[in-house]
Chains A and B, each alone.
Chain A
Amino acid sequence: MNAPLILSADQVQTPSPAPLAPAQAAARPIIRFEKVAKIFAARGSNAQVAALSDITLDVPEGAILGVIGRSGAGKSTLIRLVNGLERATSGRVTVDGVDISALDEKALRAERRSIGMIFQHFNLLARRTAFDNVALPLEIAGVPRREIKARVEPLLELVGLSDKRDRYPAELSGGQKQRVGIARALATRPRVLLSDEATSALDPETTNQILALLRKVNSELNLTVLLITHEMAVIKAVADRVAVIDGGRIVEEGATYDVFAAPQHATTRSFLSALTGQSLPPELADRLKPEPAEGRDAVLRIVFTGTHASDPVLSRVSRLLSVDVNIIQAQVDEIAGAPFGVIIVSVPGDAATVSAVVGAVERLHLSAEVLGYV
Chain B
Amino acid sequence: MFDLSFGLLPPAIVDLIIDATQQTLYMVAVSGVLGTLAGLPLGVFLATSRKGELFAAPLANHVLGLVVNAARSTPFIILVVAIIPFTRLVAGTSIGTNAAIVPLTVAAAPFIARLIEAAIREVDQGLVEAARAMGASPLQIVAKVLLPEALPAITLALTLAAVSLLGYSAMVGAVGGGGLGDLGIRFGYQRFMPEVMAAVVIVLILLVQGVQTLGDLIARRLDKRSRS
A residues with a Cβ closer than 8 A to B are: 83, 85, 108-113, 115, 117, 119, 121, 123, 125-128, 136-137, 139-141, 168-171, 184, 188, 194
Contact = CB atoms under 8 A, between A and B. Distances in A.
Given A85-B132, A115-B133, A121-B124, 16 more contacts: A85-B133, A109-B135, A112-B132, A112-B134, A113-B135, A117-B133, A119-B130, A123-B129, A126-B223, A140-B131, A140-B144, A168-B224, A170-B228, A171-B228, A188-B134, A188-B135
A125 B148 contact: yes
B131 to A, nearest CB: 7
A112 B151 contact: no
B136 A109 contact: yes
A110 B134 CA distance: 9
| Interface pairs A-B: 8 shortest CB-CB | A112-B135, A123-B130, A137-B134, A168-B224, A123-B126, A117-B133, A109-B135, A113-B135
B134 A136 contact: yes
A127 B151 contact: yes
B149 A112 contact: no
16 contacts: A109-B135, A110-B135, A111-B135, A112-B134, A119-B129, A121-B124, A123-B124, A123-B130, A127-B149, A136-B131, A136-B144, A137-B134, A140-B135, A141-B134, A141-B135, A188-B134
Contact of B134 (A113, A128, A171): A113
B226 interface: yes
Q: Is the interface of B mostly helix, strand, loop or mixed?
A: helix
A119 B128 CA distance: 12
B215 to A, nearest CB: 17
Nearest to B134: A137
Contacts of B126: 119, 121, 123
A126 B134 contact: no
B137 interface: yes
Interface in B134-187: 134-137, 140, 144-145, 148-149, 151-152
Given A109-B135, A109-B136, A112-B135, A126 B130 contact: no
A140 B137 CA distance: 8
Contact of B130 (A108, A117, A169, A188): A117
Interface in B99-145: 124, 126-127, 129-137, 140, 144-145
B225 interface: yes
B227 interface: yes
B203 interface: no
B222 interface: yes
A112 B124 CA distance: 21
Given A83-B133, A109-B137, A112-B134, A123 B224 contact: no
Contacts of B130: 117, 119, 123
Contacts of A123: 124, 126-127, 129-130
B140 to A, nearest CB: 5
Nearest to A137: B134
Nearest to A138: B134
Contacts of B152: 127
A242 B222 CA distance: 44
Nearest to A142: B140
Given A119-B126, A170-B226, A125 B134 contact: no
Given A109-B137, A168-B227, A127 B129 contact: no
B133 A127 contact: no
Contacts of B148: 125, 127-128
A198 B224 CA distance: 23
Interface string B199-228: 000000000000000000000001111111
A116 B129 CA distance: 12
Contact of B225 (A83, A121, A126): A126
B42 to A, nearest CB: 23
Contacts of A126: 149, 223-225
A128 B145 CA distance: 10
Nearest to A129: B224
Contact of A137 (B135, B223, B225, B228): B135
A120 to B, nearest CB: 9
A188 B129 CA distance: 17
Contacts of B225: 126, 170
A127 B191 CA distance: 53
Contacts of A85: 129, 132-133
B131 A171 contact: no
Contacts of B131: 136, 140
B144 A139 contact: yes
A140 B124 CA distance: 19
Nearest to A133: B130
Nearest to A139: B144
Interface string B180-198: 0000000000000000000
Contacts of B135: 108-113, 137, 140-141, 188
A141 B126 CA distance: 20
Contacts of A121: 124, 126
A35 B133 CA distance: 23
A266 to B, nearest CB: 33
A105 to B, nearest CB: 8
